[in-house]
Amino acid sequence: MRRWLAGGWLLLLLSVPLWMHDQYLLHVLIVTGIFIIAAMSLNLLLGYTGQLSLGHVAFFGIGAYTSALVSLGFEIDIFGYPVVHEPWPELAGFAIGTALAGLCGYAIGRLSFKVRGAYFVIVTISFAEVMRLVALNWVELTQGPAALTNISPFKFAFPGIGSFTFWSKTSNYYLVLGSALLAYAIIKRIVESRIGRAMIALKENEPLALSLGIDVTRYLVLAAVVSAALAGAAGSLYAHYIRIIDPSIFLFIYTVTMVIMVITGGKGTLAGPVVGGVIFGFLPVIVRSFAAPELQWILYGALMIAIVVLLPEGIVPAVERWIANRGPNSARPSDVLADHS
Amino acid sequence: MNELLQHVLNAIVLGGTYALLGIGLTLIFGIMRVVNFTHGELYAFGGYGMYLLGSMLGLNFFLALAFAIAAGFLLGVLIEFVLLRPVRAADIDTTMLVMIGAWIIMQNTELLAWGGVAKSVATPFPETPLAMGPVSVSPLRVFVLAAATLLILATYLLIHRSRLGMAMRATFQDREVAALMGVNINGIHAATFGIGSALAAAAGALLGPVFLVTPSMGDLAALKAFAIVILGGLGNVTGATLGGFILAFAEEIGAGYVSSGYRDAIGFLIIILVLLIRPTGLFVRAERVG
C-alpha cells in the first residue's frame, strides 16, 4: 500500500511540467523544492537531535556564495598577495560549496555542542549574522550590496557527446526534484540506521543514551556536518538557478522560513519538511495576491505561534495518528515512531 | 591619543544604553527562563514612541521619554499575559519559537505603520558640542548617559531594596518554594517582563534621537543585547551592566582602528569567543540575580 502511494506521488511529481504550463508557478515550485531540501537538512538537526539551530541560512548562503564564486572566478588581495581564481565548472562549485558548508557545520558543531539550549541558539544566529556582514563588507570578493550577477546555470558535460545546460525552467525543475529525492534518501538512510536511533535516543534521554555508551558529541557533530552540507548544496542549486545573489540571502527571516516549514510539517518525521515546505512555499503566492508583504510576514508569525502552541508535534504526526485511530490495525510501527517524535 | 580619548568618551555614552538593553534581557532570562526575541522590537518601540509623541504630537521631550518608557512597560506586560503565560509550562524551545513569532509580527507591524524610511527625532538640546579639553560631546549624549545611569541605579535599587525585588530574587532561586512562601508568581512574571521591556524601550527612546529611528533598528539591538548578556552570563545583572560597557568599548575601538564596516560584527565575534573560552560568562559567581 505504502509502496503504491509512494509510486503515485513520484509519477505525479515527474509529470508536473507536462500539465503545468504556468511558468511562474513552475518557478515557485522550483524555489519551494530548494527550500524543502534546506528544511529537510534543518530537520536532521532540529527534529532528530533536538537542537534548535537558528543560523541554518548561514550554510545555505555559504553554499550559494562559494558555488557562485568558484564558477565566476575572482581576484582578491590577501595581505598584499594577489589571489586570482579562474572560473571553474559549475559542478566544481557545487562540490566545493557543499564541502565548505559541511566544514562550517563541523566547526559550529564542535564549538557549540559544548553549550546547549539558549546558548546554542544564540551562537547559530550570531554565526549567520557574521556571515551576512562579511558578505556585505568584503566587497572585493562578494561585490557587497551590488550582488554577484551573471552566475551561470548548471552544465553537465558528456565527453564525446556534447553538453547540457540547465537554462529552462523545466530542466531546473527536474534537477531540483532529483536533488530533493536524493537528499530525502540520504536523510532516510541516516535516520533509519544505528546513527539515527542514537540521535533519537539523545533527544529523548541524553543521560540514558550516555550511560549506554553512545558518544553524544560525535553523533551531534555528524548530524551538524550532514545537515550543513545539504543546506550548502541547496544554496548552490539556488545560486545557479536564480543566477544573482546578494548578502540578504543570509537574513534571519530565511532561517525562520525553514524552521516554520519543519515545525508545521512535523519535526522528526521524514515527510514533515516536505508537507510544511509545500504549504509555506505556496502560501506567499496566495497571500501576495491580496496583501502587502508585511502582512504576509505577520501571518507567518501568527501561524508560527499558533502551531507551536496548538499543534506542537506538527501536521504529519497528527494526520498519521488520526488515520491510525480510524483504521482497525491501530498499532503500526510508524505510529509508534510518530508517538515518540 | 586625543582620538583614543574621544573613542573612550563615545563608548561610555553608548555603553550606558547597551547596559540598559542587556539588563532588561538578562532579568527576563534569569527569572522567567525566556529568551526574549522581542527585546529588539521593544527597543524600536521606544524609538518610535519618541518620534510619535515628541516629533509628531509635539509633546515635551522629557515627558515623551517618560511616556515611551511607560508604554514599553505596558506592552511588555501585555506580551507576558497573552503569549508567555499560556506556554509557561512548556520547554525553552517552545517559548523561543513563540517569541520569534512575536518578533516577526511586531517588526512587520512597525513597517506597516511607519514605512521603511528612517525618522529623526527632534530634541531640545543645542547642536553645538561641549568641548572638554581635547575631546567633545554633544549635550544630548550627556543627557543620554545621565538618564541611562539613573535608570540602571533605579533597577539595582528595585532588585535589592524593594519587596518586589526580593520576590523576584526568590522566584529566580526557586519558583516553587517562592510560590509556597506567598509570592504571586503570575505577578512577578508580568512585572519582570514589563520592567525588562521598559528598559529596552528606554534604551531605544534614548538612542533614537541620537541616531535615526528605523524599522530594522531592533534587529541589531536584539543581537547586541544577546552578546552583552552572554558576556555577563545569562541572568547576571552586574555582568550585563559591565558587558554593555565592554561591548561599547570593543565596538568603538574596533570601528575606529580596524574597520567601521565590521563594527556590528564585533558583538558576534565576542559571543563566539566567550563561548569558546568561558561559556558561563565573564563575571559569573554563583548563578543568581543581582
* A124 sits in which H/E element: helix A118-137
CA-closest candidate to residue B24, choices B221, B225, B239 = B225
- Residue-wise pLDDT for A44-56, tens only, equals 988 888 888 888 9
The Cα B288–Cα B141 span in angstroms is 33
The Cα B69–Cα B200 span in angstroms is 8
Q: Which residue has the cell 521524514?
A: A270
d(CA A171, nearest CA chain B) in Å: 35
Mean pLDDT of A228-240: 93
State the complex-level ipTM: 0.83
Helix A333-340 to helix A315-326 angle, to the nearest 10 degrees?
140
Sequence spans of domains, chain A = 22-252
Reported confidence tier of residue A327, pLDDT bands at 50, 70, 90: low
d(CA A312, nearest CA chain B) in Å: 8
Q: Residues near B285 by Cβ (< 8 Å), separated by ≥ 6? A: none
Tell me, what's the pLDDT at A329? 54
Query: Contact, B97 vs A308, CB < 8 A?
Result: yes
Helical H segments across chain B, by residue range: 2-32, 39-50, 61-79, 92-114, 139-161, 163-173, 175-180, 185-210, 217-232, 237-257, 266-277
CA-closest candidate to residue A112, choices B176, B115, B274 = B274
Q: Is the pLDDT of residue B276 over 80?
A: no
CA-closest candidate to residue B127, choices B114, B118, B136 = B136
Q: Which residue has the cell 536533488?
A: A179
Selected for mutation to probe chain B from A253, A304, A310, A313 (highest B CB count within 10 Å) is A304
The Cα A22–Cα A3 span in angstroms is 30
Asked if B265's CB is within 8 angstroms of A134's CB, the reply is yes
- Residue-wise pLDDT for A57-73, tens only, equals 999 999 999 998 888 77
The Cα A217–Cα B73 span in angstroms is 42
Highest mean pLDDT among A241-255, B189-203, B214-228: B189-203
Tell me, what's the pLDDT at B286? 47
Using DSSP's 3-state secondary structure scheme, residue A162 falls into strand
- Residue-wise pLDDT for A153-200, tens only, equals 877 777 777 777 777 878 888 888 888 999 999 999 988 888 888 888
Query: Contact, B53 vs B64, CB < 8 A?
Result: yes
Using DSSP's 3-state secondary structure scheme, residue A78 falls into strand
Share of chain A above pLDDT 70, in %: 94
Tell me, what's the pLDDT at B40? 93
Q: Quickly count: other Cβ atoms within 10 Å of residue B79's Cβ.
A: 23
Contacts of A292 in chain B (CB under 8 A): 112
C-alpha cell at B29: 532570562
Tell me, what's the pLDDT at A328? 59
According to DSSP, the β-strands at A81-85 and A155-158 are unpaired
Asked if B93's CB is within 8 angstroms of A52's CB, the reply is yes
Rg (C-alpha) for chain B, rounded Å, is 19
Contacts of B221 in chain A (CB under 8 A): none
Rg (C-alpha) for chain A, rounded Å, is 21
The Cα B148–Cα B42 span in angstroms is 16
Phi then psi dihedrals of residue B215, to 5 deg: -65, -25
Q: Is the pLDDT of residue B127 over 70?
A: yes
Tell me, rounded to whole angstroms, the distance of Cα A143 from its chain centroid. 25
d(CA B96, nearest CA chain A) in Å: 9
According to DSSP, the β-strands at A74-78 and A162-165 are unpaired
How many Cα atoms sit within 13 Å of A255 on the Cβ side? Answer: 26
The Cα A38–Cα A34 span in angstroms is 7
Q: Is the pLDDT of residue B290 over 50?
A: no
Using DSSP's 3-state secondary structure scheme, residue A200 falls into helix
C-alpha cell at B177: 518554594
Nearest residue of chain B to residue A296 (CA atoms):
B108
Tell me, what's the pLDDT at B21? 93
DSSP A250: G
Using DSSP's 3-state secondary structure scheme, residue A154 falls into coil
Share of chain B above pLDDT 70, in %: 96
Query: Contact, B202 vs B46, CB < 8 A?
Result: yes
- Residue-wise pLDDT for A287-309, tens only, equals 888 878 888 889 888 988 998 88
Highest mean pLDDT among A105-119, A202-216, A230-244, B216-230: A230-244
Q: Residues near B163 by Cβ (< 8 Å), separated by ≥ 6? A: none
d(CA A309, nearest CA chain B) in Å: 7
Q: Quickly count: other Cβ atoms within 10 Å of residue B99's Cβ.
A: 22
Contacts of B279 in chain A (CB under 8 A): 114-115, 119
| Interchain CB contacts (distance < 8 Å): A and B | 117
Q: Is the pLDDT of residue A332 over 60?
A: no
Query: B274-285 as b/e, with b when 16 or more CB fall inside 10 Å?
Result: bbeeebbbbbbe
Query: A306-329 as b/e, with b when 16 or more CB fall inside 10 Å?
Result: ebbbeebbbbbbeebeeebeeeee
DSSP A282: H
Average pLDDT across chain A, whole number = 83
Tell me, what's the pLDDT at B196? 95
Tell me, what's the pLDDT at A238? 92
Tell me, what's the pLDDT at B82? 92
Closest CB to A294: pick one of B86, B100, B108.
Answer: B108
Tell me, what's the pLDDT at A112? 63
Tell me, what's the pLDDT at B62? 92
Nearest residue of chain A to residue B30 (CA atoms):
A118
Tell me, what's the pLDDT at A340? 47
Q: Is the pLDDT of residue A90 over 90?
A: no
Reported confidence tier of residue A113, pLDDT bands at 50, 70, 90: low
- Residue-wise pLDDT for B153-171, tens only, equals 999 999 889 989 888 888 8
Tell me, what's the pLDDT at A336? 47
Mean pLDDT of B179-200: 91
| Domains with residue ranges and CATH for chain B | 2-114+135-277 (1.10.3470)
- Residue-wise pLDDT for B64-83, tens only, equals 999 999 999 999 999 999 99
Asked if B275's CB is within 8 angstroms of A123's CB, the reply is yes
Q: Is the pLDDT of residue B25 over 90?
A: yes
Q: Is the pLDDT of residue B106 over 70?
A: yes
Q: Is the pLDDT of residue B255 over 90?
A: no
d(CA A126, nearest CA chain B) in Å: 5
Q: Is the pLDDT of residue A216 over 80?
A: no
Contacts of B25 in chain A (CB under 8 A): none
Nearest residue of chain A to residue B93 (CA atoms):
A52
Reported confidence tier of residue B63, pLDDT bands at 50, 70, 90: very high
